[in-house]
Amino acid sequence: MSADQEKLITELVGKGLAGDMDPINAIEDRVLRSKAKAALAKAKRAAKTATTATPTEEKPATETIAETPPSDNPNKKFGKMIEDTFQGSLDAELNDTHIQLKPDNWFEIAKWLKSEPSLYFDSLQCHTGMDVGENMLEARYNLHSMTHDHKIEIRIAVSRDKANIPSIEQIWRIGDWFERETYDMFGIFFDGHRDHRRMLLPEDWEGYPLRKDYEVQETYHGIAIPKVKVGWE
């Protein structure tokens, strides 16, 4: 490019950044016009990163001055209350979707969640297990309060070799059947459960079906269980 053209392009880019696209669009020569537009796009991108870089530098300064405002999201609000009442029970950062807890103090926390008047989580809506990979199993609890009408989700992650979580079936009575089903499907043991046995599968079934690495057994009482044949899909 000649020096004249470069100077022209810089001038046009300046005008374009100010919002005036007419001079660029009025260029007769197609090649020059496209070069000018490309240079304008590059300049706009550079300007955007410059503006976003500056606020992050300022943020830590303002945060130390003012307090973080309390969050409206129930998971964050109640997660903070749990952390305040039972130190060291959170297993991960507070976020919008769930509260991650450690399994050790779970029975006490659950009793407090049900009886604390401002929370009063009196119904365990759903309990499920999850195979999250990396040799970890998770138990997830969806709690809901009929009086205050708010809900949270609690997740407890344990390793496959030592999958023990305290049982909460004495607090929410539906936990009895929910925990038996999770044990049946995933193999998570619930300490303190008064009737710990399989729920849906027969008592002498081997394996935990909903784990990702489950291999179905060959026969059951003499009846052969066919494997999925290759090429049937």
Residues that bind other proteins (CB under 8 A): 97, 122-126, 128, 130, 140, 142, 146, 149, 153, 172-174, 176-177, 185, 198-202, 209-210, 214, 216, 220-221, 223, 225-226, 228, 232-233
CA-CA distance, 222 to 216, in Å (whole number)? 15
Tokens representing residue 212 in the block: 């990702």
CA-CA distance, 98 to 155, in Å (whole number)? 7
CB of 91 to other proteins, least distance (A): 17
Tokens representing residue 114 in the block: 């049900």
Q: What backbone torsions phi and psi does residue 178 show, to the nearest 5 degrees?
A: -60, -45
CA-CA distance, 223 to 230, in Å (whole number)? 21
CB of 194 to other proteins, least distance (A): 13
CA-CA distance, 157 to 145, in Å (whole number)? 24
Strands (E), the chain: 99-101, 123-133, 136-144, 151-159, 164-166, 189-191, 219-220, 223-224
CB of 10 to other proteins, least distance (A): 42
CB of 146 to other proteins, least distance (A): 6
CB of 80 to other proteins, least distance (A): 21
CA-CA distance, 65 to 20, in Å (whole number)? 41
Cβ-contact 196, 190 below 8 angstroms? yes
Q: Which amino acid is it at 41?
A: A
CB of 1 to other proteins, least distance (A): 45
Give the residue with the Cβ less far from other proteins, 89 or 145: 145
CB of 92 to other proteins, least distance (A): 15
CA-CA distance, 22 to 146, in Å (whole number)? 62
Give the residue with the Cβ less far from other proteins, 40 or 131: 131
* Residue 121, helix vs strand vs coil: coil
